[in-house]
Amino acid sequence: METLPIGKAFTLLEPGPVVLVTTNDGRKDNVMTISWTMVLDFAASFAITTGPWNHSYAALRESRECVIAIPTVDMLDTVVGVGTCSGRDTDKFGKFGLTRIKAAQVRAPLIGECLANIECRVADIVERHNIVVLEGLAAYLDSARKEKRTLHAIGDGTFVTDGRKFDRREMMRSKLPDGV
């Protein structure tokens, strides 16, 4: 997995993929599935919607760290499996055969099977709306990976994946940050 400049990390989340979020509560690693994500600005600021109904939330609140890992379409059953059981009673890394890779700046692990990973610090928690604001610290991309299509949740238990890519980079030049 190669390093991706942190200024490009927003391009991983802007298309709205379903993500896996890893945490470490000081004793154990855990992972949950999140489809409600948002980019807040170009400088690697993101938000996810989650709350105390998930076991991961306590680790997010206490450690103030996590990793956003971006799975691909071939991982659909893992993504749904991870999101339908809990770290309260399940070792999800073992159950789903996920490979932990040590992160550089946070205790939560990267996921080796994923296309990309973003190490994050919890910058804020807006409890009234169950919004966790994250600051990206480091990003990685497995550009050698053959399957690069990510998953998008419809919200009713069905999913779609990426289709054709359109290039309007020249037309959008004035709106794109430097280096993107």
C-beta of 18: minimal distance to ligand FMN in Å? 5
C-beta of 143: minimal distance to ligand FMN in Å? 25
- Is the Cβ–Cβ distance between 118 and 138 less than 8 Å? yes
* Residue among 1 and 25 whose Cβ is closer to ligand FMN: 25
* Residue among 21 and 110 whose Cβ is closer to ligand FMN: 21
Contacting positions for ligand FMN (CB under 6 A): 18, 30, 32-36, 49-50, 54-56, 80, 83-88, 153
C-beta of 179: minimal distance to ligand FMN in Å? 30
Helix extents (H) in 31-89: 56-63, 76-82
* Residue among 26 and 179 whose Cβ is closer to ligand FMN: 26
Residue 134 has a CB neighbour count (10 Å cut-off) of 27
Query: 143-173: string of b/e by CB count within 10 Å (b at 16+)?
Result: eeeeeeebbbbeeeeebeeeeeeeeeeeeee
* Residue among 66 and 137 whose Cβ is closer to ligand FMN: 66
C-beta of 57: minimal distance to ligand FMN in Å? 7
Cα(first)–Cα(last) distance of the chain, in Å? 20
